[in-house]
Structure 1
Amino acid sequence: MKNTRDNGLSDRRKATADAKKILLDNYRAAKEAAAPHIEAKQAERLAVATAREERRAERERAKAEERDRQLAAAKAEAEAADAATRAEAEARLEAETSRISRVIEDEAARKAKRDQRYANRKARQG
């Protein structure tokens, strides 16, 4: 049996328009039905993004604290090394001063002994 219906241009255009209208209505209905799910997913994505941003900020803060702690430790170490160097220089200067004063005292004692010997010799002679 042949298709008894005569599909003219206007019938085909009407069928196409009806099909498009049905598809558009189905799309709108599906979109309205999915609206709560979409809002929930958007809220979930926003919560995940917020949590991710908070974790990133926490990591940045921890890195900054670690960097500050390391800088403080390096500064304290440098100050300690500087103080040790200063103390060593002062000790060296003190040792040098002590050695010089001992040499001067020894020289003075030697001269005093020599002068005493000279005075004793003069006393014996005269």
Structure 2
Amino acid sequence: MSGFRDKDFGDRLSTAENARKAMLERVRAKPGADDPAVAERRATRQAISTAREARLAEREAAKIAEQAREAAEREAQQAAAHEQRLSQEVAEAAERAEKAERQVALEAEQKAARDARYAARKARK
């Protein structure tokens, strides 16, 4: 076991310090806010965000238009159904009036026939 080396406290401290230095170098190596690449990425993200908002607004407008169209269609269907009910009621009323008129005519015809039979019977006596 001559190849195994146990790390002592100093080695651990130096390893931790090297790790901190490496992290600090990575942070320092990042481009600043005034870097053109950062500004370009920010502009790209802003353009994507604006396009997304425009698509959302367009979808919302289409949804509102669809709801308005459906409401108008329902209104038209209700109006057509109401008109159909009215015409059906008028037809039924006309049919009832015609039936009543036929009944009155039938009763008058029957009364005339009855009166004629009565008169004929009186004439024979």
- Fold equivalence (TM over 0.5): yes
Distance 2:79 2:50 in 1: 43
Do structure 1's residue 26 and structure 2's residue 31 form an aligned pair?
A: yes
Q: As a proportion of its length, which structure holds more helix?
A: 1
Change (3 A) 1:73 1:49: same
Deviation at residue 11 of structure 1 after TM alignment: 4.3
2:95 corresponds to which of 88, 91, 110: 88
Do structure 1's residue 45 and structure 2's residue 52 form an aligned pair?
A: yes
- Secondary structure of residue in 2 paired with 1:26: coil
Structure 2 unaligned residues grouped into runs of 5+: 1-13
- The amino acid that maps onto 2:31 is N
Distance 1:13 1:104 in 2: 123
Aligned-pair RMSD on alpha carbons?
A: 2.4
What TM-score does the superposition give when structure 1 sets the normalisation length? Answer: 0.71
What TM-score does the superposition give when structure 2 sets the normalisation length? Answer: 0.72
Percent identity over the alignment is 23
Structure 1 unaligned residues grouped into runs of 5+: 1-7, 119-126
In the alignment of these two chains, the number of paired residues is 110
Q: Which stretches of structure 1, 4 residues or longer, exceed 6 Å deviation after superposition?
A: none
Larger RCO, structures 1/2 (Cα 8 Å, 6+ apart): 2
Do structure 1's residue 71 and structure 2's residue 78 form an aligned pair?
A: yes
Change (3 A) 1:116 1:34: same
